[in-house]
Amino acid sequence: MSAKPRHAAAVLAALTAVALAATACGDSSEPAGKDAKNITLTIAANSIVGGKSSAGAEWIEKWVIPKFIEAQKAKGVTAKVTFVPSGVDDEQYKTKQALDLRSKGGADVIALDGIWVGEFVQAGYLKPLSDVAGSEVDSWEGWSQIPETVQGLGSFDGKRYGIPLGTDGRVLYYNKKLFAQAGLPADWQPKSWQEILDAGTKLKALPGVTPIQINAGTAMGEATSMQGALPLLVGAGGEIYKDNKWAGASQPVKDVLDFYTKVYGGGLGDPKLQQEAKGRDKSFAEFAAGKIGILGEGDYFWRSVVNPSGGIAKMADRDTTVGYALIPAKQPGAGIRGQDFVSMSGGGVRVLNPNSKFPSHAWELLSFMHSAEGVKAELAGEKRITARTDVNKEVLAGDPMLSFITDKVLPVTAYRPPLAVYPQVSVALQEATADVAGGKSVDEAATAYQKKVEGIVGGPGNVTS
């Protein structure tokens, strides 16, 4: 982004902040307690009718607001609820919300990317939900329907700052037809990294087939981290950020790089594909054409890539040809929390503005949006993984793959650290995978990675090695 649009966005955000400060956090002439009879609330999201995430904006305007006003009226409360739409680049939206919160303005209920939460907390823009709205937060029925791992999306340092919207999960996809040709089982579930490599060795005997595609390098961007390096890292018992320190050339990081070496140095993967600008899209096309045996990807791949209707690399026989398995730990019990299987997830959250004039009512609005009824209305018939187990059981009943994600993957998943410096550390990790995929030794790549991370996060004192 050039300096001008960034400046324009900042000015716009600052002006909006001033305008919203007067209105968004309620009417200061009213009492701020639970007993207020006239309340004013606002909702902010990066969606707009007819533009970005139009369906989400329509849900807020046509379902959430009228239903909530009606429910409040039944309690003798007159509620005025306004939606503040946006339809901008994510970074512009993020800047606008940060400026609004910094100026003690902004909407009462705000949608954010989960990856921003820790950064906003450390800047003093957010407070734990129960600090904002009181004890009723912890007694909300919804928490029992959201797996603890998924609650992690809206948590930081063990405290809840937001309610997760929806989420996803990573698995290993495999081609059952190629597996049959290679003498591998149709219901494959590797229990260790070695079993993945062993399957790759058998697939190597098939002409024109790349046995394993685990994203590597910087051309794949964050897909290398989320689909490859980070699931492997948690499978080796490591975390990219833990106890206020970033992972350097630790044993788990070296284990990850060693796995990449075995795939790309052992002829089980295509190192050139990792360097191509459109390498990820090409990997999709190759898998759909029966030229890749095993692929690490998210449920997005099932829903939007190989989906026989509307996928970008359609597979008419997806439901019978594409298998999926949990990502195993390095060996049983070696994953984080002593797990046998692991995954990584992402997603959005909704938070409460700590400056809300009506915090109790703002929580009522937020929890209403995340009720089973609210979440189902937001889906509008679409099959998508939500944060709520009860809703998932109902709406995903006809889709065994998405049910597999909710039943098996989400209970073992992990999330990226929601900190401002994470994207730079992620790039350093991607570069380390590129190094080993390109033939450098594990020690050489790990040492270079450690030095980069130390430079990014303020010295060796903030890095474990």
- In 3-state terms, what secondary structure has residue 440? coil
Residue 101 lies in a domain: yes
Model confidence over 335-358: pLDDT tens digits? 999 999 999 999 999 999 999 999
Separation of alpha carbons 216 and 232, rounded Å: 12
CA-to-CA dists, residue 368 to 144, 159, 166, 178, 213, angstroms: 15, 21, 15, 48, 42
DSSP assignment letter at 30: S
- 6 domain-assigned: no
Order the strands of the 245-247 sheet from edge to edge.
241-242, 245-247, 463-464
Residue with tokens 């570069």: 431
**Residue 187 sits in which domain range?**
169-345+419-462
Query: Half-sphere exposure of residue 262, counting CA atoms within 13 Å on the CB side?
Result: 15
- Residue 180 shares a structural domain with residue 268: yes
pLDDT < 70 stretches in the chain: 1-32
User: Do 207 and 243 have their domain in common?
Assistant: yes
Q: What is the CATH number of the domain that holds 299?
A: 3.40.190.10
> pTM score, two decimals?
0.86
* Residue 320: how many other CB atoms lie within 10 Å: 11
| 3 domain-assigned | no
282 and 299 share one domain? yes
Closest Cα partner for 336 from 415, 235, 188? 235
Residue 341 shares a structural domain with residue 353: no
Are 330 and 441 members of one domain? yes
Q: What number of H helices and E strands is found in the chain?
A: 21, 16
Asked whether residue 442 is domain-assigned, the answer is yes
Q: Is the same domain home to 150 and 176?
A: no
Q: Are the C-beta atoms of residues 369 and 48 closer than 8 Å to each other?
A: no
What is the structure's pLDDT at 25? Answer: 56
| Gap between the Cα atoms of 97 and 303, Å rounded | 31
Quick one: 80 and 46 in the same domain?
A: yes
Is residue 124 in some structural domain? yes
Residue 23 within a domain: no
pLDDT of residue 382: 87
Helices (H), 126-274: 129-133, 148-151, 176-181, 193-203, 222-224, 230-235, 251-264
Claim to verify: residue 354 and residue 431 sit in the same structural domain = no
- Please report whether residue 7 resides in a domain: no
Q: What is the dihedral of CA 41, 46, 51, 56, to 10 degrees?
A: -60
- Asked if 188 and 322 touch (Cβ cutoff 8 Å), the reply is no
What was the pLDDT predicted at 2?
A: 36
Last residue of a domain, one of 394, 415, 436: 415
Of 415, 431, 448, which residue constitutes the final position of a domain?
415
Count of CB atoms situated within 10 Å of the CB of 75: 9
Instruction: Please state, in angstroms and rounded to a whole number, the distance separating the CA atoms of residues 179 and 229.
Output: 25
Which of helix, strand or coil describes residue 40? strand
Are residues 226 and 330 part of one domain? yes
Kindly state whether residues 292 and 252 are assigned to the same domain: yes
Q: Is 148 exposed, middle or buried (0-12, 13-18, 19+ CB in 10 A)?
A: exposed
Q: Do 174 and 128 share a structural domain?
A: no
Is 391 a domain residue?
A: yes
Number of domains in the chain: 2
Do 186 and 59 have their domain in common?
no
